[in-house]
Amino acid sequence: MRKMRLIRCLAMTGVIILLFAGISTKAQIVKPASWSFTAKKVKADLYELHMTAIIKDGWAIYSQLTPEGGPERTVISFDKNANLLLGGKVKEMGTMKKKHEEVFAVDVHYFEHDVSFVQLLKIKNLKGDRTIKGNVNYMVCDKSQCITDEVPFSVLLK
């Protein structure tokens, strides 16, 4: 008979164990921004979804307020969930900088180092579906290149 095997787990959400993590030597595409998604409880039926980007030095991502004609704005979209109400627009928490760019002839609104996009969410039925899903579409640039990317998220409000 097989001995009982126990699975030791860490306090994080699921990640497949990578057998070659850390020793792969093939070239990797740069990832200047990394995103995390967390739900913060305000009241029993009220939550804040924090969508946080950590940005590498020398890179910037762009505010939702950047005028058209400039760099692509960060756009956050939510999948429909009839049990959740969106409270207002997505707020931006971070140090927003403004700079007039000749090349675009607009004032570019951007963030460096880190920024949190925050959406207030109200749960209609506490026993119903409490999962908020969606996508962040954003652009990140440094002096020599721009990367557009899409990050899907799925967060349980608990």
Partner 1 sequence: MKKYISALILSAQFGLMFQTIAQTQPQFSLYGQIDGLQDGVKIYLVKDKPSNKKLLDTVSVATSKDGNFYFTGKVPDGIGFYYLQTNAVAAMTQGLVLVNANMKLSGDWQSWPMIKLTGSDSHLQYLEILKFNAEMNAKLKTENADVATAKSRKANVFKSYINSHLNSLITPFVIDQLIETIEMPELKTLYDALGQDAKNASFGLSLDKKLKRAEKLGAIKVGSIIPHFNLTMADGTIASIKSLAAKNKITLIDFWASWCKPCRMENPNLTEVYNAYHDKGFGILGISSDKKAELWKKALAEDKTPWLHGLDTELAGQNIFEIKAIPSYMMIDQEGKILALELLSPIKGDGPGLRGKVLHETVKKLVNL
Our CB check for partner 1 shows the closer of 20 and 88 to be 20
Our CB check for partner 1 shows the closer of 67 and 87 to be 67
Query: Interacting stretch for partner 1, rule CB under 8 A, among 40-48, 80-88, 112-120, 146-154?
Result: 146-154
Query: Residue 4 CB, nearest distance to partner 1 (Å)?
Result: 5
Q: 109: burial class by Cβ within 10 Å (0-12, 13-18, 19+)?
A: buried
Query: Interacting stretch for partner 1, rule CB under 8 A, among 14-22, 38-46, 84-92, 117-125?
Result: 14-22
Q: What does the per-residue mask of binding to partner 1 show for 62-81, with x meaning CB under 8 A? A: ------xxxxx---------
Our CB check for partner 1 shows the closer of 41 and 124 to be 41
139 binds partner 1 (CB under 8 A): yes
38 binds partner 1 (CB under 8 A): no
CB atoms within 10 A of CB 75: 14
Size of the site for partner 1 (CB under 8 A): 50
Q: Using CB under 8 A as the criterion, which residues of the chain lie in contact with partner 1 when the complex forms?
A: 2, 4-20, 23-27, 29-30, 68-72, 101, 103-105, 131, 139, 141-149, 152-154, 156, 158
